[in-house]
Amino acid sequence: MTGPAVDELRRIDLNLLLALDALLDERNVTRAARRLGVTQPALSGALGRLRALFDDPLFVRTRHGVVPTPRAEALAEPLARWLADARELVAPARFEPAASERTFSISANDYMQHALLVPFARALERRAPRAALALWPQPEDLAAQLARGALDLAVTIAEWAPPDLPSRALYEERYVGIVRRGHAWTRRRPSLDAFCAAKHVLVSPAGGGLRGPTDDALALLGRQRRVALTVSSFLLVPGVVASRELVAVVPERLLGRQPGVARFALPVDLPPIRAIAVWHPRWHRDPAHAWARALLAEVAASI
């Protein structure tokens, strides 16, 4: 809206419309003034401004008060509608999951999508059947995507989250080692030497990276492992390990009931995975966003 239309609206004082509403209801300036908490002359002044605004007397005096002119009568219904809309506009924002058609865009790596966001999608379908969920891979410019509103939330681990963004802890889990079923390590924990000498599969979502949390933990001990293969997806790891003489270190939940692979005890201590949700501050008080965050935390607590 621009130009003359905006100028017209600028001339309208909401208090004048409230005065008109009270006058239409009470048909008495003194009682309408009392209802609005102002004095009679103040409301009389407001009536004068209303008359100038609408270029109509609006009310004429009678023995027992005032009666509206046809112009004022005609204003009654649209005014009531406008005031109801205005009250709705300033009422506290609400979110109705059952009626919402909002699309929630969430990024996460493929493993977290599998472990957390697939159950979240089921919960969302139950609670907000008309809403939609868009899952995205973790972008390199995560903070920028959140700031632009391209993403509502990102599920990531605390160490990788952009600094200074609001976040909420979701779940913790530990790393486990996996090898092909029947491998000697499934019966006896490997030595650190054997572990470092084995051929490892490393997940590098961005592709090409040759370091992970396992390498950092080994580096603290002055050791190094042999990475023979990198893949871009956690979900590829069990299949790769099941068919070759490779070992991998993966989040515990990834193992599940994967055929052909079995876990083994790691000879090195790794810090737990702390999964968190992060978002941009501008969404912090958005009712729909807060509802989705709470649902995500609820699902995370149940997996």
Rule CB under 7 A: say whether 42 interacts with DNA. Answer: yes
Q: By CB under 7 A, which span of 60-68, 98-106, 142-150, 171-179 interacts with DNA?
A: 60-68
> Which residues, 104 to 163, sit near DNA by CB under 7 A?
none
Tell me which of 17, 44, 143, 235 binds DNA, using CB under 7 A. 44
Q: By CB under 7 A, which span of 41-49, 77-85, 133-141, 211-219 interacts with DNA?
A: 41-49
Is the separation of the CB atoms in 178 and 238 below 8 Å? yes
Rule CB under 7 A: say whether 191 interacts with DNA. Answer: no
Rule CB under 7 A: say whether 49 interacts with DNA. Answer: yes
Q: Which is nearer to DNA, 52 or 169 (CB)?
A: 52
Tell me which of 56, 65, 147, 162 binds DNA, using CB under 7 A. 65
Q: By CB under 7 A, which span of 28-36, 113-121, 186-194, 272-280 interacts with DNA?
A: 28-36
d(CA 202, CA 248): 7
Tell me which of 25, 48, 80, 197 binds DNA, using CB under 7 A. 48
- Residues that bind DNA in the complex, under the rule CB under 7 A: 13, 15, 28-30, 38-42, 44-49, 59, 61-66
